[in-house]
Amino acid sequence: MQYFDYCCGLVDECYDCLQIQAKASTNQSTLPSEGQRLHRLHSNHHEQSRSKRKRYPGIMPNNRVKTTKALQSKKGKAVLSKLHPHSRRAKQITRIALRDDKLALNKKEKKKLGNALTSRLIWFIEANKQEARTKDRSGQSALPIPSADLSTLHVLITSFIARNSSLINEETSKRTKHFSNRPKSTALEKLESLRRSELIEYSTNGFLIPDLRTAENLKLLDQWKDEHRCDRSFLARVKLIRLFKDEPTRVMEEQRGATDSFRLDAGLPTPDDDDDDDDDDEDVQLIEVDE
């Protein structure tokens, strides 16, 4: 009996099995016991490979090139100039371009969300100061740093949501003045969509505002707005809360803010600091407070 009959059956795939078969063809005097021993070794080798593929079916080498710079450093710039449209390299470049577009879009959306939150916080800071000045004229408030209670915060939220009512009425009158069936303008659709989303936030998830009830948080808000120029890294020190329309006394803590030693225990995810370096991004739009 020739011992290569005990091969694992993957002669065309396994280099070790090919070596066994070559040795068996040149040395016919090899004992069957040696062939059985070699067979057991290589059977264990293939069995381990099969079990590994079963346990990790999606395992693949982590060598995917994700950027054009990495592709050029790996393959050279000459590779990118001569490509077949259906080649593997062309598909790789297409995948890199799609990834770059996706990252740029996510970065822009992230910047918009950060600007919207900044504008909202600035509006509430100025509106709270205006409310405190109104009370101070009537002799009801003499605090150096104005603070607000829950009822005042709900009034401020209602005023914030209705801040664009005059613009909406103006756009609606322009639309109905000439043609009754005239479609809505882009500005009117954006204003109505913004007011609708804020009303949904107020009634379902809770409206996100800065906590204006404590003097410490008001001081941090002034520092963030004036001294630090709305720096997002400093914003994590400010305490943020959520108030609900149907439950006026319910307060949910969204961001704990800083303790006495300015130690951060929790914070909202904020846009990256490198986003501030982009010149083409949209600037923060300040919202005027009615006198």
The answer, yes or no, to whether residue 41 has pLDDT greater than 80, is no
Residue type (1 letter), 172: T
Q: Pick 60 or 127 by higher pLDDT.
A: 127
- Predicted confidence at residue 82, as pLDDT, reads 73
Q: Please identify, among 34, 50, 66, the residue that sits at the C-terminal boundary of a domain.
A: 50
Q: Please identify, among 32, 50, 68, the residue that sits at the C-terminal boundary of a domain.
A: 50
Q: Is residue 283 part of a domain?
A: no
End-to-end CA distance of the chain: 104
Phi–psi pair at 258, nearest 5 degrees: -95, 150
Percent of the chain with pLDDT over 70: 59
Its pTM stands at 0.56
Pair (201, 270) in one structural domain: yes
Provide the total of helices (H) and of strands (E) in the chain, helices listed first. Answer: 10, 3
Q: What is the CATH number of the domain that holds 271?
A: 1.20.1440.170
Cα Dmax for the chain: 114
**What would the mean pLDDT of 54-63 be, rounded to a whole number?**
57
Phi–psi pair at 162, nearest 5 degrees: -95, 15
**Using the 8-state DSSP alphabet, how is residue 207 labeled?**
E
Q: What is the pLDDT of residues 188-239, one digit of tens each?
A: 999 999 999 999 999 999 999 999 999 899 999 999 988 888 888 898 899 9
- Predicted confidence at residue 122, as pLDDT, reads 92
Pair (46, 118) in one structural domain: no
Look up the domain containing 225 and give its range.
Answer: 97-277
